[in-house]
Structure 1
Amino acid sequence: MLLAERHQKIVDLVNFRSSIRVSELSEIFSVTDETIRRDLEKLEKENKLRRSHGGAVSIQEKQSEVDFSEREITNVMEKKVIAREAVSQVEIGDRIILDASTTAWYMAKNLPDVPLTVITNSIKVAMELSKKEKIEVISTGGMLLPKSLSYVGPLAERSLDNYQVNKTFLSCKGLDLNSGLSDSNEWQALLKRRMIEKSNETILMVDSSKFGHREFSHIASLQSINQIIVDAKLDNALKEIIKEKNITVTTVNLFNESAS
């Protein structure tokens, strides 16, 4: 296969898959990983794709990142009561991570102005917390995703290496009992994985509509989660299966009454 032909096929694969790993490409084209890395470097310079950690992602316009304004009006009541329950689990002096989900934003709006340290990749969360004088806010920085108003990428991931927190509060686009947490955007998935790794305890805030769905990018296994806060619509059988995995399930109804 000619070099130009391989390059075109790589671009086609990346655009079709949204993202792909170096190891997959080297196997497909029967060349070394180093050859693929050189290919990706050249294609990035030609603005045909963007290199990512361990692979490449498409730069074509795609729907994997939903506008924050759209997410803000989806399952609003569920997200608000889940967020309020999450706030009740924050203690004075805690060091926490909040992701760029709308539930984390609702959580930021409800956090009391008490001594806390909050690390976030969300511009919306950071702006909300800037109104509270006693809360120290640390932004990850990184590559801005304009639709979600969040920072991602290697710089955002590396910034978390400097910290260890008490609790991470995050959400996800899909939750499957076998494959675990997933997101439609690879950059978000990689950063959420790092958030989990840097925390003593991870609390997943997710409404029941996310259960049974698998999105494109894997975040982590279900066993990496300590607690799930979910609305009361979640099937009782699913709750029991999750509890059998030694994960606390806290359910909240629309009147903000919770039960474990």
Structure 2
Amino acid sequence: MYQEERLVSILEFLKENNRISVDQIGALFDVSRDTARRDLVRLEEENAIVRTRGGAILPSVHDEIKTYSNRLKTVSEEKKVIGKMAASLIYSSDRVILDASTTVQSCAEQIENIDCTVITNSINQAEVLSFKPEVNIQLLGGALQKEHRFLYGSSVVEKLSEYHVDKAFIGVVGISEKGLTIAHEEDGVVKRKMIQQANQVIVLADHTKLGNTDFFRFANLTDIDLLITDKTPPIAFRELLTKSNVELLTADQETGGED
């Protein structure tokens, strides 16, 4: 096998397994350790890998977090389905928290016009709900994060500590064995307090968020009660949820879809 062919195969292996060792390269392609090291040097020179002690991993790729307004323009059908399922869990007389995420906004848009109380740090959520006369809105005051449309800071956290609610609906950038993660620490600190003030914590995340880990961890899997997503996750992720006592609700289960 020529080196170019091995390099392609090494990258394919990395995409499936996340890391590869010099010994694995030798065993897979029947080459010496020196040849395996030269392959890794070549891939490193092409910025295709990051060399580690005894092997290599793929370089980290961080997706740019678009502004809230831009994310709203691309709200997917998956988020709308998740939002509808979440909204169906809000009943008359409920007291709930909605965080400042576009998936949770899909929930806000589909809440029935019923006598319930919503606490939020999102100016978008408050605006959406202002057109539902029966819904009572408590907008948390604090510093405004203009690009992502949420209020944050010590005043928000302190005010949240005064409330106790039935349910909190939380959006994430990533949910994995490392917990619930978000791009901005100031947002995560508020979400963490929201979770602490709720009897039931419900996370809304489309399938692209499952297994991902972003910058700031604001909660563990064991801190949540229910995950609503659009597709049945792989069995390994379902086992992770079961181990953490997290209930799973998926749109494809509701519509009779398969794994």
TM-score (structure 2 length as normaliser):
0.71
CA offset at residue 108 of structure 1? 0.9
Q: Give the corresponding residue for 1:30.
A: none
Matched residue SS, 1:162: coil
Conservation of the 8 A alpha-carbon contact between 1:64 and 1:184: no
Contact 1:182-1:214 at 8 Å conserved across structures: yes
Moved more, 226-235 or 108-117: 226-235
1:70 offset after TM fit, Å? 2.0
Is this contact kept in 2: 1:168–1:203, CA < 8 A?
yes
Aligned partners of 1:136 and 1:171: how far apart in 2?
A: 21
Aligned to 1:181: 180
Instruction: Provide the identity percentage.
Output: 32
Opposite residue 107 of structure 2, the aligned amino acid is M
1:191 aligns to 2:190 (yes or no): yes
- Show structure 1 runs of 4+ deviating over 2 A: 63-66, 255-259
Equivalent AA in structure 1 for residue 187 of structure 2: Q
C-alpha distance 191-173 of structure 1, shift in aligned 2 (>3 A): same
Contact 1:65 1:148 in 2 (8 A): no
**Would you say 1:71 and 2:67 are equivalent positions?**
no
Change (3 A) 1:198 1:209: same
Cα distance in 1 for residues equivalent to 2:155 and 2:173: 23
* Equivalent residue number for residue 83 of structure 1: 83
Task: Confirm or deny that 1:240 pairs with 2:232.
Answer: no
Aligned CA-pair RMSD? 1.9
* Match of residue 21 from structure 1: none
Structure 2: how far apart are the matches of 1:64 and 1:76?
18
Greater Cα shift, 225-234 or 118-127 = 225-234
Contact 2:181 2:217 in 1 (8 A): yes
The AA in structure 2 aligned to 1:104 is V
Give the AA of the match of 2:171.
S
> Which 10-residue stretch deviates more, 70-79 or 159-168?
70-79
- Distance in 1 (CA, whole Å) between partners of 2:238 and 2:73 is 26
Letter in 2 for 1:208: H
**Contact 2:122-2:139 within 8 A present in 1 as well:** yes
> What are the residue-to-residue correspondences of 1:23-102 with 2, within 5 Å?
66-74=66-74, 76-102=76-102
Q: How many angstroms apart in 2 are the aligned matches of 1:213 and 1:241?
A: 13
CA contact (8 A) 1:157 1:194 kept: yes
Name the structure 2 match of 1:122: 122
Counterpart-to-counterpart distance in 2, 1:75 and 1:209: 13
What amino acid sits opposite 1:207 in the alignment?
A: D
Q: Which residue of 1 aligns with 2:133?
A: 133
The reply on whether 1:230 has 2:229 as its aligned counterpart is yes
- Is the Cα–Cα contact under 8 Å of residues 211 and 237 in structure 2 kept in the other structure? no
Amino acid at match of 1:238: F
| Count, aligned residues | 195
1:67-109: CA deviation from partner (whole Å, max 9, x where unpaired): 1122124451111100100011111110000000001111111
Q: Which residue identity lines up with residue 87 of structure 1 in the other structure?
A: A
Give me the whole-angstrom Cα distance separating, in 1, the residues matched to 2:256 and 2:86.
Answer: 11
The alignment's TM-score, normalised by the length of structure 1, stands at 0.71
Query: Where does structure 2 lack aligned partners over 5 or more consecutive residues?
Result: 1-62
Report the residue type matching 1:127 in the other structure: E
Unmatched tracts of structure 1, length 5 or more: 1-62
Once the two structures are TM-superposed, the CA of residue 212 in structure 1 deviates from its matched residue by 2.0
For 1:240 and 1:212, the matched residues in 2 are separated by 12
Deviation at 1:233, TM superposition (A): 5.0
Tell me which structure has the larger Cα radius of gyration. 2
SS in structure 1 at match of 2:249 = strand
Asked if structure 1 preserves the Cα contact closer than 8 Å seen for 2:75 and 2:102, the reply is no
Alpha-carbon distance between aligned partners in 1 of 2:218 and 2:210, rounded to the nearest angstrom: 15
CA contact (8 A) 2:96 2:168 kept: yes
How much does 1:146 deviate?
0.7
| 1:81 and 1:256 in contact (8 A); partners too | no
User: Which residue does 1:162 correspond to in 2?
Assistant: 162
1:129–1:66 distance in 2 versus 1, CA, 3 Å: same
After superposition, the Cα gap between the structure-2 partners of 1:202 and 1:153, relative to the gap in structure 1 and judged at 3 Å, is: same
Give how far 1:133 is off: 0.9
For residue 106 of structure 1, what is the aligned residue in structure 2? 106
Paired with 1:174 and 1:223, the residues of 2 have a C-alpha distance of: 15
